[in-house]
């Protein structure tokens, strides 16, 4: 028996050694697996904590809260920033010779309150936008950066990253009001048979519409002034001008004896700002007055 033990002892020791090595390998593999799982769990915990900090700074950061409050305080007005208007021509020639200034004034005359309200809204939004931009800039640059250090966790999320995240969130929440608009005037002509259609398109921004509104107001003022100036033409003044001009047309020289009907004419028409004053009045016969109509040449004969 002792003899057999001596023979098989090395073999037994070899297998026991192998078994011990295998058990050690399994133990080390188990430890390594546990370490990997621990690291994974730790990484998950870090990610969870990181997300919580990001969510917190997005919701309760002082800058983002201040921006949200600023947004609620600013009441920018909303409106359709692109409006289309259409005008139709009676002929291709009229389309080719289309006077955009005149027709834009006619378009404004159709709806003056609409255009005035559009300009008013834009002016309001621009004023509010300037105030908003100043307040927003103060919020962004006047923050206490120490607050981020209190929230940050080393090796999870740094204070600089928290600040960068909040600033990005502030930019996302920043309001962009409408501070201009586009008026598109579409001019078209369709042939009588409907085979051919021609179009022209003109676009105007707020500044151009403001210009047209000023011109429209001048025209309205002139119209009101014209009514007043015509009221100043009294029978007494009319007789005085006729007498001064010896009851003859100052252009052709005809008188009532020649069958002419005499008018007292404004040399510079009241529609163009002319006044009912003696130096702007003259005697014309009905034919000359009709031919002259409301024309006026400031550099030539009238």
pLDDT of residue 247: 95
pLDDT of residue 89: 84
pLDDT at 58: 93
Q: What is the pLDDT of residue 132?
A: 96
Using DSSP bridges, classify how beta strands 262-266 and 182-190 pair: parallel, antiparallel or unpaired: unpaired
**What is the block-wise mean pLDDT of the chain (302 residues), using blocks of 10 residues?**
61 76 88 91 92 93 93 92 90 84 89 94 96 94 79 90 94 95 92 86 95 90 78 92 95 92 92 87 93 81 79
> With contact defined as beta carbons under 8 Å apart, do 255 and 238 qualify?
no
| pLDDT score recorded for residue 36 | 92
Q: What is the pLDDT of residue 295?
A: 86
**Per-residue pLDDT, 271:** 80
Q: What is the DSSP string of 151-181?
A: H-BTTTB-HHHHHHHHHHHHHHH--------
> Which tokens in the block code for residue 135?
């307040």
SS3 category, 254:
coil
Q: Looking at residue 9, what is its pLDDT?
A: 67
Give the strand pairing for 197-204 and 262-266.
Answer: unpaired
Total-model pTM = 0.63
Alpha helices for the chain (secondary structure H): 2-60, 62-73, 92-96, 100-110, 112-141, 146-151, 159-173, 206-231, 235-244, 286-292
């Amino acid at each position: 028996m002792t003899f057999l033990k001596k023979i098989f002892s090395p073999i037994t020791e070899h297998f026991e050694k192998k078994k011990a090595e295998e058990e050690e390998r399994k133990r080390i593999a188990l430890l390594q697996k546990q370490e990997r799982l621990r690291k994974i769990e730790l990484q998950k915990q870090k990610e969870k904590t990181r997300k919580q900090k990001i969510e917190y700074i997005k919701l309760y950061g002082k800058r983002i809260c201040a921006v949200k409050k600023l947004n609620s305080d600013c009441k920018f007005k909303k409106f359709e920033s692109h409006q289309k208007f259409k005008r139709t021509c009676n002929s291709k020639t009229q389309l080719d010779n289309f006077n955009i200034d005149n027709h834009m004034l006619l378009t404004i005359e159709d709806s003056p309150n609409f255009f005035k309200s559009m300009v008013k809204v834009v002016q309001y939004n621009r004023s509010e936008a300037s105030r908003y931009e100043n307040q927003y800039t103060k919020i962004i640059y006047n923050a206490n950066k120490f607050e981020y250090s209190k929230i940050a966790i080393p090796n999870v999320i740094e204070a600089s990253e928290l600040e960068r995240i909040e600033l990005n969130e502030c930019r996302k929440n920043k309001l962009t009001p409408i501070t201009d608009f586009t008026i598109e005037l579409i001019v078209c002509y369709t042939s009588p048979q409907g085979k051919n259609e021609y179009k022209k398109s003109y676009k105007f921004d707020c500044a151009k519409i403001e210009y047209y509104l000023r011109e429209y107001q001048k025209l309205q003022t002139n119209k009101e002034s014209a009514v007043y100036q015509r009221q100043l033409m009294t029978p007494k003044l009319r007789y005085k001008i006729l007498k001064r001009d010896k009851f003859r047309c100052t252009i052709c020289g005809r008188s009532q004896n020649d069958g002419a009907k005499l008018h007292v004419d404004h040399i510079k028409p009241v529609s163009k700002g002319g006044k009912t004053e003696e130096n702007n009045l003259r005697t014309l016969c009905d034919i000359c007055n009709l031919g002259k109509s409301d024309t006026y040449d400031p550099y030539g004969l009238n």
